[in-house]
Structure 1
Amino acid sequence: MAHTWKVQIDLFNAGEVRSDEPLTTAHATLTTSAGTTLNGYGRARRNPGDPDVPEVGEELAAARALRDLADRLLRASSDDISALEHHRVHLAR
């Protein structure tokens, strides 16, 4: 039996609110087939001297959000295994 997990990434450009703030943030949400959700967050700040290419900031912020989400998923897995084994478990990255 296959299970489908979905990840949604929402991107926010602070420049849309404040033109002097070249910041992109990302919020990644994982929803498992059982309905459990985990969240990850990332951000990217453009150097004012760099060209204004929003896609680069979005890619970087999304990658950081996914990395944060992966770390949180590893911690959740470690906690679940620890509860089953009745001792602390550390999973390597």
Structure 2
Amino acid sequence: MSHTAEWTVRLHLFEDDDGATKAQVVLDTGVTRLIGRGTAHCHPADENVPEIGDELAAGRGLQNMAQQLLDIAQRDLDTQG
């Protein structure tokens, strides 16, 4: 049995008033919509390089999304058993 699907992922990055970079990852499967979140803070002693904050926040948001997907898959497997 062949199966093809296309999911849409949008990644939003923004910096808040305290200097933290935040990421919001939105996954739309057509059936389910999940939101992953990640945050990065620049240490006061470090040079402020926005690209690094974006990378860290995005990576953490994607990790959060991945964990949600794995948790859902595990629940689905458990209910089939």
Fold agreement, TM-score > 0.5? yes
Partner of 1:27: 24
Indicate the residue corresponding to 1:10 in structure 2.
12
Q: CA deviation at 1:81?
A: 1.1
Which of structures 1 and 2 has the larger relative contact order (alpha carbons within 8 angstroms, sep 6+)?
Answer: 2
Q: Distance in 2 between matches of 1:80 and 1:2?
A: 19
Aligned length: 79
For structure 2, which runs of at least 5 residues remain unmatched after alignment?
A: none
1:70-89 alignment runs, 5 A limit: 70-85=66-81
What TM-score do you get using the length of structure 1 for normalisation? Answer: 0.78
> How well do the aligned residues superpose, as a CA RMSD in angstroms?
1.2
Q: Max radius of gyration: which structure? A: 1
Candidates 32, 36, 53, aligned match of 1:36 = 32
Q: Find runs of 4+ consecutive structure 1 residues off by over 4 angstroms.
A: none
